[in-house]
Amino acid sequence: MGKTNNVESLVNRTTVQGSGAAQSQGFVSHPFSDAAGAYPFANEEGKPVTTKGGQLINTYGADVPDDTIQGNSSGTATCYTHTTPAGHTIEYNDTPGSERIMIRHMNGDGVNIGPDGSIIISGKRRIDKAQEDYFLEVKNGTMKFEGNLTLDVTGDFNVNVGGEYNVNSAKKTEVVKKGPYTRTIAGDDIKTVDGNQTNLVTKGGAHQYLEGLSTIVKGDSRYIVEGHHTEAVSKVLTMTSELEVVLTSPEANIAASNLSVFGDTGTIGGENIIAYVKNIYGVSGDFSARFKAPVFEGDLDGNALTATTAGTSLHQSYPDGSAAPSTYTPSVGNDPEYPVDDTEIDDTATALPTATLLTDYITKSAKGVKIVKVDPNDIQKNNIDLSKKTAGVTNRELTIAEIRRKMRDPAHRDNPEFTALMVSQEKLSAEFANSSPPNVETVEDTSSIIVQGQTVLGNPSPNLTSKRIIV
């Protein structure tokens, strides 16, 4: 970069021409500031920065399209203007490029028909009244109300939209005072609620789904019915719990063609329970009353009735005392001939429900406990509520203008979570922290740079005009 030599004495030029106001150029505190102070403030984002001068109607900061020109240039012979002493103006302008008709109030309100035929109407207050019908036909348009808007319709209110119907609101309330509320959707119905949802119906209702339905809850869920409740399933009904299932009722009925009830520990039965079974497998038994079985195979601790009778009938009988009488003749008892059932015992058995078997059944089988995980690590929730992803800067999607306002706060510019998300969404340049333009190779300190304007200040002589010589 070459250096600039000032040929003229700066002292003499200041004496003759006077001194001007210096402006900083190319050096800003951060890339979202504006050294000239031209960018809008946070509450004026999107409003154009207008210059004053000329006879133009006041648009009060409206978002007038850039290609709309009021046309304020005028030639003496081509512009016909009448201005009252108070400042009201009527203008008919034939100047090429500024052809227009303007009616302007002294306060800036008025009507302007511009060179391209655009009509601008501005006023602090406006009232349109049609005694009968009112027709408005627009190809494309925008309506913006910076305050409140109220629509009062005494009859029907019909809205026909050929494309998308989008509503963006901070809060919405709908009240239907008379008649039903009918909604027909020829497609999917998708609703996202970043908060709680409550439905209160004073009468009955019905939900009918002709295909599948999934209800997924992260957290606690309650289903309370005051009355009868029926669940009927045409195929398989599966109920599992990772912790416990509690089923309590004064009366319960369980019936199945194939029933399995087993566990490692617990109790089955009651004081008045009657059990009908085919086989019982156990390591011990305790019967407090009589026990009757057609066939018993194994060992007993004690005497059975038939064994006692047989022992008494078949052994030799002797009178009481140590010596037998001389007249006693010993004899052998008669065999009572108790029937013996030698039918083969049916010892059909199933799998023994050991602790190992039950663990595999619960954790590995197709009928085991289903492990439930809904939105682990809150991935879905954090994609809707952006508070965590932006470290509290915002909880929703931001527009480009809103991001610019956020970035004017140093705390937000230094927030790595917020800036990383905005960069990933391609709403913020990855070079946002670089205060130098990307096409500048070297930047010198401002004290070593001499900036001279080309506009002459004052009325100096030609030989005192500033010059720059690049070496």
CB atoms within 10 A of CB 231: 5
- Dihedral angle over CA of 414, 420, 425, 430, nearest 10: 80
Q: Between residues 342 and 399, which one has the greater pLDDT?
A: 399
Domains in the chain: boundaries: 53-124
In terms of phi and psi (left: phi > 0; alpha: psi -120 to 50; beta: otherwise), the region of 400 is: alpha
Q: What percent of the chain has pLDDT over 90?
A: 12
Window from 9-23, 181-195, 286-300, 435-449 with minimum mean pLDDT: 9-23
User: How far is Cα 455 from Cα 204, in angstroms, rounded to an integer?
Assistant: 83
Residue 17 has pLDDT above 90, yes or no: no
Among 20, 32, 88, CA closest to 414? 32
Q: Which residues pair with 468 in a beta bridge?
A: 6
pLDDT digits (tens, 9 = 90+) for 87-120: 899 999 988 888 999 999 999 999 999 998 999 9
Q: Is 27 left (phi over 0), alpha (psi -120 to 50) or beta?
A: beta
Between these two residues, 153 and 372, which has the higher pLDDT value?
153
Contact 403, 427 (CB under 8 A): yes
Distance (Å, whole) CA 338 – CA 39:
116
Q: What CA–CA distance (Å, rounded) separates 56 from 70?
A: 7
CA angle, residues 442, 445, 447, in degrees to nearest 5: 145
How far apart, in whole angstroms, are the C-alpha atoms of residue 194 and residue 186? 25
Rounded to an integer, what distance in angstroms lies between the CA atom of residue 467 and that of residue 363? 90
Tell me how crowded residue 6 is: count the other CB atoms within 10 A of its CB: 13
CATH of domain 53-124: 3.10.450.190
Q: Averaged over 245-261, what is the pLDDT?
A: 88
Q: What is the DSSP string of 192-217?
A: --SS------SS------SS------
